[in-house]
A and B are shown apart, each in its own frame.
Chain A
Amino acid sequence: MMIKHLLSIDQLSTDQIDLILKTADSFGEVGTRTIKKVPALRGRTVCNLFFEPSTRTRLSFELAAKRLSADVITFTADSRTSVSKGESFKDTALTLQAMGLDAIVVRHTSGGAPKRLSQWVDASVLNAGDGANEHPTQALLDLYTIRRRFGGIEGLRIGIVGDIAHSRVARSNIKAMTKMGAQVTAIGPPTLLPVTAGSWGIDITTDLDALLPKLDIVYLLRVQKERQVEQFFPSLREYSLFWGLDRRRVDLMKPEALIMHPGPINRGVEVAGDLPEMERFIVADQVSNGIAVRASLMYLMLGGSQELPAPEHS
């Protein structure tokens, strides 16, 4: 059985994650066809509800839904505008409820918004990132990407580098990766490592150089420039000096180790300007896999367990 809403990685069993990733393989194949579309969700309506600016996640969900032949509508708003108009989040939810949607993909600056939304609507709610809480589909597409590259996830050593404290990508990925048996270490400035993260079943360190030779995957997080303004670290230069990935640090890595990043990349901060072009920097993989994984999820959550439709024509 698949879940009704995807709000947090906590909801998924390892079997469910396996099923999502396995099904994503089929949708990856659909994406290579000339006609990249199957009728699995024909006549169903998916609403992209974005209360925070996003390009890649919104487009990825939109493409995924379209590959399944769903109708897609997009609603972008600023939650503060709703409040100033006197409308509560629940009012927005009830408006959407009245539209008879099948799925709502929601991105919000405020943590917990998808969870609250799921209590007010009949549609399936997919969390596309809520505050610093979770970004479960990012974690699933990352698992998928890792599995395609390494054949499995169990036993891999993964270092997540950067602003763990404010990162929903980190929270979802730490849950997902540890659940699938990877050994995860969080690395970053002491101010950006949650004090209690030691209880998450991961290791924590500030010393990137010491860890690099042991890692199979270096997962870089985007470092927002405002963190420096808020004095989480003294300067961007200091950040790069200790936690930025450059050629010297790449040379410390195992030859087969890979570099991942949820995007958008902050060149010159968490990663030296010329690195993203390297073969082992597999951001493009993550992006294209994202469509397949999100299609897989929507298919499993909305379409049930029916046979995956064959190509419309060969």
Chain B
Amino acid sequence: MARILFKGGRLIDPASGVDTTSDVLVAKGKVVEVGTGLSSVEAETIDITGAVICPGFVDLHAHLREPGREDEETVASGSAAAARGGFTALGAMPNTDPVCDNAAVADKVSAAARRAGLCEVIPAGALTKGLEGRYITPVGEMVMCSAGVRMFTDDGKGVQDSRILRRAMEYIKGFDAICAEHCDDAALSEGGQMHEGYYSDLLGLKGIPAAAEDIALARDLVLARLTGVRFHALHVSTRGSVELIRQAKAQGVRVTAEVTPHHLILTDAQLQSFDPVNKVHPPLRAASDVEACRIGLADGTLDAIATDHAPHSPEEKEYEFELAPPGMIGLETALALMITEIVEGGVLGLTELVRRMSTLPAGILRLNGQGGPVTEGTAANLTVFDPAAEWVVDPNSFASKSRNTPFKGRKVKGKILHTVFGGDLVVRSGAIAAEYEAAVSAATAMAGGPR
């Protein structure tokens, strides 16, 4: 394994409360030494003066599409996208085909990630079999399998039946795992194409009311309190949701929440283009919701930033609006968008941003060796980024197999330079390291041809 010395960077390590100029020496998969004036003759020395070095980012929420839709993404290509985005760990959502509702699928995803070797992938298990909302999945077996599932969710839809959700929460609590929900009252959101409000009225597209999310979340929080499960609210998007979580936290409910870059930046005004690249669930909301999410992020009501990376093929996003599937990709733009909008916009400082993208989500998933601390003897999962470098979002340059980002052409600030996973430099100067690139293409080709 490589021996690398990062010299002159600004070490931001929220777990140990460090934010100072410091060298970091990595060897044999571990952080060997942290301090100033380090030198090592055997190590490859990389001067990162002016850049930030921090624990690798952890994405609680990504769709890798394997198994089933390898034309859109594979575990390998998704891992490459993650690595290029500075992520060293991610939670893979279970709405694959077949659904990740058993240990065999979870282990398959996990094994594919280990083969790619670009980041840690922890499959999330389905909460109910086939995501159908009726029967609880073998939670225990998935927790105990080698994939080590620790989050259960029917993401893509909410569990509509309160009795089933209650049982699932009780059962999941027994294994000390997390129950996560895509909060959605399906009767209210059925057929909805976009956020219900001024723009849906104007455009004549069927709206998804904020109430569909708020009602489901309110019920979930009541059940979380009843069962005592660790509950995680996925992609919070409404003002009402932020307020509900704020209240629940104040009352001691074990709840954590995530918010996506797109819900922190874009509004439903985007939909005027009728371009399905802006179609996503939950939908892009009104400006007042975006503002509430920003406030919620700033005051800690919303814990983590998660991408909800959702790859879709170009042809599916070239269907008519009502027929196009919801979702947008986000792994390779998350950091830059957050620096450009959230740090420069005065919502969070850079140190706090690192905490929300790394330390906190790693803590939610209880991942060892992720999220810091960056101290002697810890696993070397690190990200180096230049917070001032400007670039223009070009989907064609992505490592992801998909291109569906609404941020195409946007000028952003903040660029990933290097990503270290398990002590190896998997991203070097912004590109997947040569020794991994061939493996990614091979794994991606193996995973399936055209649909």
Contacts and interface: CB of A to CB of B under 8 A. Distances in A.
Contacts of B203: 111-112, 133
B451 to A, nearest CB: 9
A288 interface: no
A116 B277 CA distance: 12
B193 to A, nearest CB: 8
A109 B206 CA distance: 12
B274 to A, nearest CB: 3
A112 B316 CA distance: 16
B299 interface: no
B205 interface: yes
Nearest to A171: B204
B321 interface: yes
A88 B316 CA distance: 7
A51 B319 CA distance: 13
B205 A111 contact: yes
A80 B205 contact: no
Contacts of B202: 171, 196, 200
A110 B201 contact: no
A131 B323 contact: no
Contact of B204 (A83, A108, A111, A199): A111
A227 interface: no
Contacts of B275: 116
Interface centre among B197, B204, B275, B319 (most CB of A within 10 A): B204
B315 A113 contact: no
B211 to A, nearest CB: 12
B319 A89 contact: yes
A108 B322 CA distance: 11
A145 to B, nearest CB: 23
A80 B201 contact: no
A263 interface: no
B175 interface: no
Nearest to B275: A116
A91 B322 contact: no
A197 to B, nearest CB: 6
Interface string B120-140: 000000000000000000000
A131 B205 contact: yes
B204 A132 contact: yes
Contacts of B201: 165, 194-197
A79 interface: yes
A79 B321 CA distance: 11
A108 B319 CA distance: 12
A36 interface: no
A110 B320 CA distance: 6
Contact of A83 (B197, B273, B274, B323): B323
B318 interface: yes
A269 to B, nearest CB: 21
Contacts of A179: none
A23 B193 CA distance: 39
Contact of A91 (B197, B198, B315): B315
Contacts of B274: 111-113, 115-116
B321 A111 contact: yes
Contacts of A88: 315-316, 318-319
Interface in A128-179: 131-134, 165-168, 171
Contacts of B204: 111, 131-134, 166-168, 171
Interface centre among A86, A115, A116, A171 (most CB of B within 10 A): A116
Interface string A58-84: 000000000000000000000110010
Contact of B198 (A83, A111, A168, A199): A199
Nearest to B451: A86
A54 B273 CA distance: 26
B197 A109 contact: no
Interface string B177-210: 0000000000000000100011001111110000
Nearest to B317: A88
Contacts of B320: 51, 79, 89, 108-110, 112-113, 116
B25 to A, nearest CB: 52
A139 to B, nearest CB: 14
A199 B322 CA distance: 25
30 contacts: A51-B320, A83-B319, A88-B319, A89-B319, A89-B323, A90-B318, A91-B315, A108-B320, A109-B320, A110-B320, A110-B323, A111-B193, A111-B203, A111-B274, A111-B321, A111-B322, A112-B320, A113-B320, A116-B274, A131-B204, A132-B205, A132-B206, A133-B204, A133-B205, A134-B204, A165-B201, A166-B204, A167-B204, A195-B197, A196-B197
Given A108-B320, A111-B204, A111-B205, 7 more contacts: A89-B319, A90-B318, A113-B274, A131-B205, A132-B205, A133-B203, A196-B197
Interface of A: 51, 79-80, 83, 86, 88-91, 108-113, 115-116, 131-134, 165-168, 171, 194-197, 199-200
When A and B form their complex, which 7 residue pairs have the shortest distance between CB atoms, in order from nearest? A112-B274, A132-B204, A110-B320, A194-B201, A90-B318, A88-B318, A133-B204
Interface of B: 193, 197-198, 201-206, 273-275, 315-316, 318-323
